[in-house]
Amino acid sequence: MMDILPNEDIFDGIQRKAEFKQQVYRLTLESFRTLKTVLNEMAVEFRLKHSKAAIQIPFEFRDKSEFEAELKFGGDILIFVMHTNIFEFSREHEVMKTSYVREDPDRSYCGLIMVYNFLADSFKYNRENDLGYMIGRVFINKDKHYFIEGKREVGQLFNNFQSSELTKETIRQIIESAIRYTLNFDLLTPPFEAVKEVTVADIQYTLENMKLVTGKRLGFRFQGDHQEITG
């Protein structure tokens, strides 16, 4: 019986695709490590500037793991998470229609860093049912160019994929824009009708564990804000 020979084109394609994705992954990880450095530098700057303040407001960086970082300031927490996979934009995405990507389709493959906002008290009191919100996600390609989808300040300032190169300076700008958005994204009380009824079990559990679900837009259709997402 004749042996079936391997298809060298397929094997070459597997090799090329894997090496290419590893390149994008390494650039994304390098950028994420730079992001951690910037977060730490900002925390040090804050402490030096406000060390003599009458009321000590937290501004703390925590390196949670290789792919997670946390910045706590005031009553908020920003969590930065790097995804370990490489993604491509859908064909319908505006990025795919740019001359930058049409000239080299490989530019559409990106690593991903996501930014979430939570209330600090959600973690302090272990309120596991509390809500957090993604306020931005950063796409980084093989040229180390980046594109951001996000809320208001986060997404509107960083959406020129062709010319935006991710550097230490632009990473700081991204972090600062996320902080500004968070400071303006205030905690709202839910509508009375949405919370007027509670079970005995719920109130007992709440009194014991302080775990009534809390989120900045709890009881409102936060999804309506998606109209602000760019791209």
Radius of gyration of the chain (CA): 22
CA distances to 13, 28, 105, 192 from 110, rounded to whole Å, are: 19, 8, 11, 44
Q: Write down the domain spans for the chain.
A: 8-228
Q: In the chain, count of helices (H) and strands (E)? A: 7, 7
3-class DSSP state of 6: coil
Could you tell me which of 34, 164, 155, 170 has the C-alpha nearest to residue 107? 164
98-102, 145-149, 176-180, 184-188: the lowest-pLDDT one: 184-188
Cα 13 from Cα 116, distance rounded (Å): 36
- What is the model's pLDDT at position 187? 63
Instruction: State the DSSP H helix or E strand holding residue 113, giving kind and residue range, or none if neither.
Output: strand 109-119
Centre a 10 Å sphere on the Cβ of residue 81 and count the other Cβ atoms it contains.
Answer: 19
pLDDT at 51 (0 to 100) = 85
Does residue 223 carry a pLDDT above 80? no
- Residue 1's pLDDT is what? 44
Residue 222 pLDDT greater than 50, yes or no: no
pLDDT score recorded for residue 11: 86
- List all residues 6 or more positions away from 35 whose beta carbon is below 8 Å from its beta carbon: 69, 80, 113, 171, 175
Going by pLDDT thresholds of 50, 70 and 90, the confidence category of residue 20 is very high
Segment 195-224 mean pLDDT: 56
Q: Is 32 helix (H, G, I), strand (E, B) or coil?
A: helix
**140 contacts: CB under 8 Å, gap ≥ 6:** 24, 27, 28, 31, 110, 111, 112, 113, 146, 166
The model's pTM is: 0.80
